[in-house]
């Protein structure tokens, strides 16, 4: 509530005391309206050191300051002026006598807030009109509240307003009015928004010629629907029928605008229009091809006069059904069959047609055949049963882009595989039957020969040959029937296998056996201990001498055995360009015959060449004694196990040049070696 405050002040009494205290009495007040509390507030002041201790009020004008106490008090006047009201304030200080003052107060009348508002239907605006009054003065302000939870009276101003409150219900509308003296009054009343009824209807039997029925579907959230009015002839007036149901028989098909208006018991009206289609009955018809037993008969739907969508129900005698528009059907029995077609539109309009289909007997096609290996001819034998009819022709499809019209054809396929061969038998009635059989043309088996090693080997070797797959029977060119054979000679080896279909496959492999090299080697030789023996061999590409003892080049064709100390046998292995090997033995017999070979001259001059008396082969004997004499028979050197280490000295002194005589005696030899040797420096 808005409040306007009017302040009044007055200085009514000034008192002069001996001690110079001055008291000024005055007060203010808020609006003075009948029935509303007025607030009186002291504005009195004192001087001269005094303090106000009491504020005493006379509010009823009886001269007694006993109606209220304090610097600010409230009081309600229950009657307007006249008469005027005399209000007084007495001030008491702590130093002087009381001082009082009076003022006349005018009490203003309060306006009476009031308004009128009619109930409305949902969706319509409510008209709210002010009816407030005041006994004196005038009303200057009207402020409205829509009852939407906001109590500030700020939804509208003025003496009236129009508002659509929205949903059905009761709305507490408030009004606050203010007079020209600031006096206010409020009031509230409910504005009722009645619910609108819902309106709809259903339609039954919309086929032309039927009595079409309409049924209202209407509700209202409170109260009830009281009247129903129908518009059936398209003139815009709801005067064709009343009540919750209505009916009409239309004279032609087409679209009709049907209306329904309903009124609730609160007087709220709602209506609706609905486009209703009155549909004609369809005209069902169909045709069909020549009908043969066990052959699809194509039915062509010729139905017309269809409005909306349509579904079909076919019945093929007692054998089957279909919902297709243009179905095909195969009859399992010959003879007459009753075929029925029902057409039902989306409007519920239906028509039915039944026709007799004469199903002719069909032949029973079949054939036998031979299964062959590739390269052979397949024979076909026709065993078709005409089933009482007459066969007119045959058609064969061999599934390899070749065909025939012979009754019992033969055919040779160019590739192995499984072929789906088709036979079609035609009768003079135009009926036919088809049969298919898978005809196998077997691939020849492909034997694969694998070698367990190289098919190139040296004379004396062999290789194992294995055939896969291993079928029974299997026959090698050697006459063997096993999966594996072993061969050791050069040649072509063939294998023939026969699979479970009687198909035969053949393959071969070449085997080479190389001749061994023919070696020519040194003859057996007898030598004295310590002699070198040259060896040789021919007839191969590379060689290896075993053992390598005493040999300079064991891998040479012409090695040398240097001073073998014992009799031994050398084996030479020769390898040719194919890796084939042969070997020969060479025997070296070593005799312990003390075949010593002393030199007849040596030159111990310190040049490092020919410094010692050398006796060939003496190194191989540990039991040979050497004695050397000068020409006067004086022994100048002696050694019981000479090792070719005498440098021509005597008692560590060099002997003069000249001829000296030696004697060599060995324990294993009966005779001795005598000779002369010359020292030459």
Q: At 385, is the secondary structure helix, strand, or coil?
A: strand
Looking at residue 98, the DSSP 8-state letter turns out to be -
**Sheet of 254-264, strands arranged across:** 241-242, 225-231, 254-264, 269-278
* 507 and 533 housed in the same domain: no
Q: 4 lies in a domain?
A: no
Q: 351 lies in a domain?
A: yes
Question: What length does the chain have?
Answer: 681
* 673 and 601 housed in the same domain: yes
Report pLDDT digits (tens) over 603-627.
999 898 999 999 988 888 888 999 9
Provide the pLDDT for residue 15.
40
Question: Is the pLDDT score of 480 beyond 80?
Answer: yes
Q: Which two tokens stand for residue 239?
A: 């005067």
* 435 and 372 housed in the same domain: yes
Provide the pLDDT for residue 12.
38
Distance of alpha carbon 41 from alpha carbon 618, whole angstroms: 166
* 379 and 437 housed in the same domain: yes
Residue 65 burial by CB count (10 A; 0-12/13-18/19+): exposed, middle or buried?
buried
Q: Which residues pair with 323 in a beta bridge?
A: none
Question: Is the pLDDT score of 61 beyond 90?
Answer: no
Distance of alpha carbon 391 from alpha carbon 426, whole angstroms: 6
Q: 155 lies in a domain?
A: yes
Number of H helices, E strands in the chain: 0, 63
Return the minimum-mean-pLDDT range out of 81-90, 546-555, 646-655, 661-670.
Answer: 81-90
Distance of alpha carbon 158 from alpha carbon 171, whole angstroms: 19
* 622 and 554 housed in the same domain: no
Q: 9 lies in a domain?
A: no
State phi, psi for 422 to the nearest 5 degrees.
-115, 135
Provide the pLDDT for residue 208.
87
Question: Is the pLDDT score of 6 beyond 60?
Answer: no
* 551 and 609 housed in the same domain: no
User: pLDDT-derived band of residue 345, with 50, 70 and 90 as boundaries?
Assistant: very high
Q: 110 lies in a domain?
A: no
Provide the pLDDT for residue 62.
87
**Cis peptide leading into 598, omega within 30 of 0?**
no
Question: Is the pLDDT score of 166 beyond 90?
Answer: no
* 559 and 620 housed in the same domain: no
Distance of alpha carbon 351 from alpha carbon 356, whole angstroms: 17
* 27 and 95 housed in the same domain: yes
Q: Residue 97 CB: number of other CB atoms within 10 A?
A: 10
**Once rounded to an integer, what is the mean pLDDT over residues 643-658?**
93
Q: Give percent of the chain with pLDDT exceeding 90.
A: 68
Q: Which of 168, 194, 220 is the last residue of a domain?
A: 194
Q: 14 lies in a domain?
A: no
Distance of alpha carbon 489 from alpha carbon 66, whole angstroms: 159
Provide the pLDDT for residue 298.
96
Provide the pLDDT for residue 287.
95
* 353 and 384 housed in the same domain: no
User: pLDDT-derived band of residue 8, with 50, 70 and 90 as boundaries?
Assistant: very low
Q: Which of 569, 591, 613 is the last residue of a domain?
A: 591
Q: Which of 146, 171, 194 is the last residue of a domain?
A: 194
* 662 and 631 housed in the same domain: yes
CATH number at residue 670: 2.60.40
Question: Which helix (H) or strand (E) covers residue 463, if one does?
Answer: strand 463-468
Domain that holds residue 633: 597-679
Provide the pLDDT for residue 644.
92
Provide the pLDDT for residue 600.
92
Distance of alpha carbon 41 from alpha carbon 72, whole angstroms: 4
Domain count, the chain: 8
Q: 636 lies in a domain?
A: yes
Q: 15 lies in a domain?
A: no
* 506 and 455 housed in the same domain: yes
Per-residue burial over 558-571, b if 16 or more Cβ lie within 10 Å, else e, is ebebebbeeeeebe
Return the minimum-mean-pLDDT range out of 108-117, 134-143, 164-173, 422-431.
Answer: 164-173
User: pLDDT-derived band of residue 150, with 50, 70 and 90 as boundaries?
Assistant: low
* 576 and 561 housed in the same domain: yes
CATH number at residue 471: 2.60.40.10
pTM (predicted TM-score): 0.43
Per-residue burial over 77-88, b if 16 or more Cβ lie within 10 Å, else e, is beebbeeebebb
């Amino acid at each position: 509530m808005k409040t306007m405050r009017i302040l009044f002040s007055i200085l009514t009494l000034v008192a002069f005391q001996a001690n110079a205290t001055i008291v000024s009495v005055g007060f203010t007040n808020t609006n003075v309206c009948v029935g509303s509390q007025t607030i009186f507030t002291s504005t009195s002041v004192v001087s001269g050191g005094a303090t106000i201790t009491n504020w005493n009020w006379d509010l009823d004008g009886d001269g007694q300051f006993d109606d209220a106490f304090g610097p600010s008090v409230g009081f309600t006047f229950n009657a307007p002026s006249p008469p005027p009201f005399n209000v007084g304030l007495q001030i008491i200080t702590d130093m002087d006598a009381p001082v009082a003052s009076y003022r006349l107060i005018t009490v203003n009348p309060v306006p009476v807030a009031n308004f009128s508002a009619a109930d409305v239907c949902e969706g319509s605006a409510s008209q709210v009109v002010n009816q407030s009054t005041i006994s004196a003065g005038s009303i200057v302000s009207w402020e409205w509240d829509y009852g939407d939870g906001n109590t500030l009276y700020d939804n509208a101003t003025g003496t009236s307003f129009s508002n659509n409150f929205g949903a059905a219900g009761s709305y507490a509308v408030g009004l606050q009015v203010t007079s020209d003296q600031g006096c206010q009054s409020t009031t509230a009343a409910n504005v009722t928004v009645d619910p609108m009824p819902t309106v709809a209807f259903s339609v039954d039997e919309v086929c032309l010629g039927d009595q079409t029925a309409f049924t209202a579907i209407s509700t209202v959230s409170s109260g009830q629907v009281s009247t129903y009015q129908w518009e059936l002839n398209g003139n815009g007036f709801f005067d064709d029928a009343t009540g919750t149901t209505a009916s009409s028989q239309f004279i032609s098909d087409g679209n009709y605008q049907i209306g329904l208006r309903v009124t609730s018991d609160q007087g709220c009206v709602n209506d609706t229009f609905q486009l209703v289609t009155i549909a004609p009955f369809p005209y069902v018809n169909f045709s069909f091809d020549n009908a043969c037993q066990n052959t699809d008969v194509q039915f062509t739907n010729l139905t017309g006069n269809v409005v909306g969508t349509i579904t079909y129900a076919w019945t093929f005698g007692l054998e089957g059904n279909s919902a297709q528009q243009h179905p095909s059907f195969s009859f399992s029995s010959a003879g007459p069959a009753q075929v029925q077609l029902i057409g039902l539109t989306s409007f519920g309009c239906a028509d039915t047609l039944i026709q007799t289909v004469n199903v002719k007997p069909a032949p029973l096609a079949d054939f036998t055949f031979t299964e062959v290996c590739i390269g052979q001819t397949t024979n076909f034998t026709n065993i078709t049963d005409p089933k009482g009819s007459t066969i007119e022709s045959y058609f064969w499809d061999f599934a390899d882009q070749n065909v025939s019209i012979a009754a019992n054809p033969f055919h040779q396929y160019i590739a192995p595989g499984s072929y789906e061969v088709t036979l079609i038998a035609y009768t003079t009635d135009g009926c036919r039957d088809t049969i298919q059989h898978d005809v196998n043309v077997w691939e020849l088996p492909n034997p694969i020969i694998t070698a367990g090693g190289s098919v190139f080997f040296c004379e004396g070797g062999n290789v194992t040959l294995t055939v896969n797959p291993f079928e029974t029977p299997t026959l090698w060119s050697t006459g063997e029937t096993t999966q594996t054979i072993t061969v050791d000679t050069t040649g072509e080896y063939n294998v023939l296998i026969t699979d479970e279909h009687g198909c035969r496959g053949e393959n071969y492999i070449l085997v080479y056996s190389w001749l061994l090299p023919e070696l020519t080697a040194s003859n057996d030789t007898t030598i004295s201990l310590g002699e070198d023996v040259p060896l040789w061999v021919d007839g191969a590409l590379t060689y290896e001498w075993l053992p390598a003892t005493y040999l300079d080049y064991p891998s040479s064709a012409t090695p040398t055995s240097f001073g073998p100390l014992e009799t031994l046998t050398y084996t030479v292995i020769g390898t040719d360009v194919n890796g084939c090997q042969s070997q020969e033995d060479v025997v070296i017999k070593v005799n312990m015959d003390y075949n010593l070979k002393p030199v007849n001259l040596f030159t111990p001059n310190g040049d490092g060449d020919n410094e010692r008396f050398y006796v060939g082969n003496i190194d191989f004997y540990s039991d040979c004694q050497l004695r050397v004499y000068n020409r006067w028979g004086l022994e100048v050197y002696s050694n019981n196990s000479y090792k070719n280490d005498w440098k021509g000295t005597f008692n560590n002194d060099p002997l003069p040049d000249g001829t000296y005589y030696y004697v060599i005696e060995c324990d294993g030899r009966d005779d001795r070696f005598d000779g002369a040797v010359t020292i030459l420096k």
